[in-house]
Amino acid sequence: MTVALAANAPTLFDIKSAQLPLVALRVKTDRLDQVADELAAQYADVPDFFDNDALLIDFSQLDTGHSTDPTPMAFEALLQAARSLRLRPVAVRGGGTVHAQLAEQAGLVVTDEVLPAKTTAITPTPSPSVAAAPAPTPVEPPAVAPSALVIDKPLRSGQQVYARGRDLVVLAMVNPGAEVIADGHIHVYAPLRGKAIAGARGNTEARIFALAMEPELVSIAGIYRTSEVPWPDEVLGKPTQVRLFSGPDGDKLVMDAIKP
């Protein structure tokens, strides 16, 4: 016997599942005060790198059996360092009991997993006597990628350009002491003599291209190399691409000459 129960639906609001894009800070040491100092130092010269992004602090890589529990002062220092960079800590994942307690005291959500919401489609079974017509496959319009940021003037020492969420194209020289940063690829159609940081938010597929590769530093997804180690003669001052290679020995930067 089926019983139908009367129900009332709210008319002024709805409760729905939602997905929130998060920036994840993966903590690799139990010295949270040192993490706070390094975080602040890393982005001190890029004040607009974050834009009130929601932050997940991830302690899942810590060995809680051999690590030291954080103090409230160290945990608060980490939160303050994040907020000073326009990050908004909202959740904590992993860690031990003390990490969870400090997170709850700070008003953060404690979660084991942050996963995208899943939708399950229920298809009715057709009657055996009636052939069901195939349901049309919905076609989603292709996402429009943001256009690249194009810079057509030389960048002098002390100047910095950041292409948030897109590629960066520079049509003039990047002089020593200048910095070009992008969440995607970096293309320099001129000599690259300053610093180039591609995949700034962890995009390991990002690459750096230059017509004359002579940089002070190149970095992709946090893996970097400086000119303190001389660049190979095969690429120095020549058209070159830099990419990230992941192998059994870890991540490393690979430089390939671009042949006409």
CATH superfamily to which 23-111 belongs: ACT domain (3.30.70.260)
Instruction: Among 3.20.20.70, 3.40.228.10, 2.160.20.70, 3.40.50.720, name the CATH number for the domain at 149-257.
Output: 2.160.20.70
pTM: 0.60
Give me the chain's average pLDDT, please: 82
Does the fold of domain 149-257 match that of domain 23-111? no
Mean pLDDT of the 97-110 span: 91
Closest CA to 201 of 93, 66, 42: 42
Higher pLDDT, 89 or 1: 89
Burial grade of 216 (CB within 10 A; 0-12, 13-18, 19 or more):
middle
pLDDT at 121: 38
- The model's pLDDT over 156-189, given as tens digits with 9 standing for 90+, comes to 998 999 998 899 999 999 999 999 999 999 999 9
* Boundaries of every domain in the chain: 23-111, 149-257
Strands (E) located in the chain: 23-26, 53-59, 87-94, 109-111, 149-151, 160-163, 168-170, 179-182, 186-192, 195-198, 208-213, 217-220, 223-226, 240-247, 250-257
Mean pLDDT of the 192-198 span: 95
- The model's pLDDT over 6-46, given as tens digits with 9 standing for 90+, comes to 455 566 766 665 667 788 888 988 899 999 998 888 887 77
